[in-house]
Structure 1
Amino acid sequence: MSSEVVRFEASEEFARRMDAEDSLRSFREEFLFPVHDGEPAIYFVGNSLGLQPRKAKTYVLEALEDWEKLGVEGHFRGTRPWMPYHEMLTEQTARLVGAHPIEVVVMNTLSVNLHLMMVSFYQPTRERPKILMEAGAFPSDQYAVASQVRFHGYDPDKDILRLAPREGEETLRTEDILDTIERHGREIALVLLGNVNYLTGQAFDMAAITRAAHKQGCRVGFDLAHGAGNLQLSLHDDGPDFAVWCSYKYLNGGPGTLGGVFVHERHAHNKALPRFAGWWGHDKQTRFQMGPDFEPIPGAEGWLLSNPPIFQLAALRASLELFDRATMPALRRKSDRLTAYLEFLLDRLPPGVVRITTPRDPKQRGAQLSLRFSKDPRRLLEKLNSAGVHCDFRSPDIIRAAPAPLYNSFHDVYRFVGVLERHARD
């Protein structure tokens, strides 16, 4: 698929032609789709739970067989020994998020990792007690931040600065974020944003936000739950102090699977950083000496607590191999076109049927479009589900549709809007 501008057409023939020209089309066959009326369902909810890679079962069974045959010796023997298993995912993860291998580790789940990172990077003082975040951040992030602020003896009502869109607008302006950092920076201990907002689908300028916050002496972290595997990230170059993400959405690791952590290389050897420590984060060379003093592994691995669950790593490995083969630059090029085609077809629906609240600028969004409908969206979602369309509802009135480029097609987009048009008028 070339990089030249495409003139979209609202026809099934055009959608099929785009798929035929798609260099990534074969990856669709690497996934298992729910089936509706004998054909793959339209699955536009990879921003909530990605599809199962075909190899996930093979890799999990492989680990189960080693457990069956080897017992505890599976840690050191077998097809893929468990002791270093998580290290197999390190370089792939680093390429996925634009980091150096020393800066990333696969571990825990997102909210656990967020708390661990705030232990290290939210160190409030009387002069600088505040956290800056989105007013519309995902609830789990809001709960975590408020609990950390209380834990340090501060008041969430006073010491959490919440960014909200201007009156009459639905997304944040970059200049407003930067202005808030400049005006309040000397009070802010931590700037913590989702790099893609779960509700609006808006993607933020991570590099500009990081530069502005560091200029004011703030630490910076990002929640990449809707960014990892969706956007082309450059965490090392952008320079935030940390980032966290889950792996069950765009990364297709399976329900509730392990998340990931990025800690910038400049912190790799800083033993003075406060942290909650665990055995698996201890220096590998002396780990089994069972000494009483914690010696952190340099880099992100030093935040590991426990040996990771191998079956979850195995399932995630199946997906990360596909991302590594496809590459994020190629996936982003396809995703931009898929999302733009969805936008094009939605704009052709009768006036008043639907309004797109996600930014129109491709640089400010990923695969997701958030849609507001003139009629009851919950009832509409039920009709879509009955017709074999998988997307989701988020309060107060938004249906989210996210064509994931690793397994969705232009024909999926065409079919989706056709089903939507039939049912949105009912």
Structure 2
Amino acid sequence: MRDNGGVRIAEHLSDGPSTAEPREVVILGSTGSIGTQAVDVITRNPGRFRVVGIAAGGGRPDLLADQAAALGAVAVAVADASAASDVARRLDERGSGAKLLTGPEGVAELAGWPCDVVLNGITGALGLESTLAALRAGRLLALANKESLIIGGPLVRAAARPGQIVPVDSEHFAVASCFPRVPEAELTSLAQGQVAARTAEVRRLVITASGGPFRGRTRAQLADVTPADALAHPTWAMGPVITVNSATLVNKGLEVIEAHLLFDVPFDRVEVVVHPQSVVHSMVEFVDGSTLAQASPPDMRIPIANGIAWPHRVTAAAPPVDWTRAHTWTFEPLDHTAFPAVRLACEVGEAGGTAPAVYNAANEEAVAAFLAGRLAFPAIVDTVAQVVSEHRDADTGSALTLADVYAADGWARTRARELITPRPV
């Protein structure tokens, strides 16, 4: 275990994988899609990793207790304090002596736990405090919780040292992979894998989107789609919220903001292109006309493994592209009329302040209403756009605070719920 007391951990990990001791990992969101895949990578590489802590919401107590016992975690955090007694009983049944932390503050405490790397796979705005706690504790942060960076951009920028974040979103992992790996001393942006000195050589970042289950449909054709339709993603297996976000392209809008914050590239130099096969995860186009692309099958275990093992790779994290078979990869422009979420996200990102928090919170409320059958699919982004249009940043006279972010988040949720009316029967 390497608890560096606030010095960039990655600086001590750049000479090759350690053979003396495994890297110690904290997994936040261990029972979700990202977390369970991380556990798969780790359990298949027992000599390289050791899980010291796991956290989850508490909705799957048996799985959480099973993970704690199997991984030998010394600490377990449950975000829902009301689920703590249930989790404690299951931990005891499995003979786990893990310390139990409860509530959102318990999850944030675990994010600062002594370890080498924190994987933040929490879904939604709840991940912000954990992101900040991990960064302030000096941990290397493998970031899958894009919302925390997006809604708390200035706060994360202030807390993060250059290169302290390793992006786990497949698109941002791909972008980072297209930049040369450079000495730690040269890093100036938040994300590992890029230096500002090279940004001038970049013409644009090209973020790929599968197009989701409704690729090619017009706005009119989206009026009657059901939650079951939206959850039937053609290439990725994910949780319900992110799957609906992929269907609306809100997820891609969030990723554009994330790319801007991670790599210091202006919004007018970040483009989204539809790539249904989901094999090319993103591209970097340089000023000389050349383009570098990162390609791999649609399997999140590759960027997850990269995040927890940075700057090294994990052998056989997932199967590679089968080059003995014929492949056809297609690319097409995004239909911004049918899917306006990306342009709206760019406007929100340019506005800055608490506008991204409002975009994200209104969307989370609208998605919940859609999944409950109370909102039509096109009305998800319509609701977000209306809430964003009504938002006005408070003049705090000082830098953005966590209280500002949460106040904007709360206002946006309340306003979105007011705008959502039951669908006619």
Do Structure 1 and Structure 2 share a fold, with TM-score over 0.5?
no
Pick the TM interval, shorter chain: 0.3 to 0.5
Q: Relative contact order (C-alpha < 8 Å, sep 6+): which is higher?
A: 1
What is the TM-score with the length of structure 1 in the denominator? 0.35
What is the TM-score with the length of structure 2 in the denominator? 0.35
Task: Give 1 or 2 for the bigger CA radius of gyration.
Answer: 1
